[in-house]
Amino acid sequence: MKIIAAKKILKANDQLAEENRAGFNAAGVYCVNVVGSPGAGKTTLLEALFTALKDRLRPAVIEGDIAGSIDAARIEKLGVPVVQINTQGACHLDANMIAAAAADFDLAAIDLLVIENIGNLVCTAGFDLGEHLRIVVLSTAEGDDKAAKYPAIFQGSQALFITKADLLPHLNFNAERITADFKRLAPQSEILQVAAIQGDGIPPAADWLAGKCAATLR
């Protein structure tokens, strides 16, 4: 009987993630892993960014959900190719799932592959999927203490998108607090603030993402 320790599984995941990344590099595909709480506004952010980037980049999406395909249907409406992963209860995506899902795309026809992870600020933190960039999405309504309370997910992310900025007048949200906490955990990272439904902050965010994509793949 073979017994596999959790540490070894994570190591195996890291190796698979490296293979995914090598495959994305070879195909000229920039890959982004988007994490955040349920209801942080991940899908709405993607809808806004894809609309802003539609003449500049060819995106595709892997949607991770416990159940259903609500978000995948929203992405499909934009004409963006999408593969839905249903984890049937599992709390995060792993590199193996991404390898299987990515095989369903024609990578030659894609510039930007976005993985929308399960809504979970805890378990997604430990799993490299082979992405080039991990973005953590936090809505203003979630509060300014989340980096302090869920440090691992923030520490391993290279960018923070603060969403639902339109709600700021109605909330007690201190942007300086979350900025300070995040910069302490991830000093080299960037912070962008948007109100995706209203479009506020979307043009510079789209430029920023297109720039990351071009810089990595040139």
In this chain, which of 57, 121, 160, 202 binds a second copy, going by CB under 8 A?
Answer: 121
Q: Which helix (H) or strand (E) holds 160?
A: strand 159-163
For the CB of residue 90, give the shortest distance to a second copy in the complex, in Å.
Answer: 8
Q: Quick check: 38 binds a second copy (CB under 8 A)?
A: yes
Which range touches a second copy (CB under 8 A), out of 13-21, 114-122, 129-137, 202-210?
114-122
Q: How far apart are CA 25 and CA 29, in angstroms?
A: 6
199 is a site residue for a second copy (CB under 8 A):
no
Q: How many angstroms separate the CA atoms of 132 and 167, rounded?
A: 31
The binder of a second copy chosen from 170, 176, 187, 188 (CB under 8 A): 170
User: What is the CB neighbour count within 10 angstroms for residue 11?
Assistant: 12
Q: Does 195 bind a second copy (CB under 8 A)?
A: no
Helix (H, G, I), strand (E, B), or coil: what is residue 146? helix
Q: Indicate the residue among 53 and 129 with the shorter CB distance to a second copy.
A: 129
Give the pair of three-digit tokens for residue 167. Answer: 């709600």
6 is a site residue for a second copy (CB under 8 A):
no
In the chain, count H helices and then E strands. 8, 7
The identity of residue 134, as a single letter, is R
Residue 114 Cα to chain centre, angstroms: 7
Minimum CB separation of residue 185 from a second copy in Å reads: 11
Assess 98 for contact with a second copy (CB under 8 A): no
d(CA 164, CA 45): 10
Quick one: which of 114, 164, 189, 193 contacts a second copy (CB under 8 A)?
A: 164
- Give the interface size with a second copy as a residue count (CB under 8 A): 37
Q: What residue type is assigned to position 9 of the chain?
A: I
In the complex, which residues of this chain contact a second copy (CB under 8 A)?
1, 3, 37-39, 65-68, 70-71, 89, 91, 118-123, 138-139, 141-143, 145-146, 148-152, 164, 166-167, 170, 172, 197
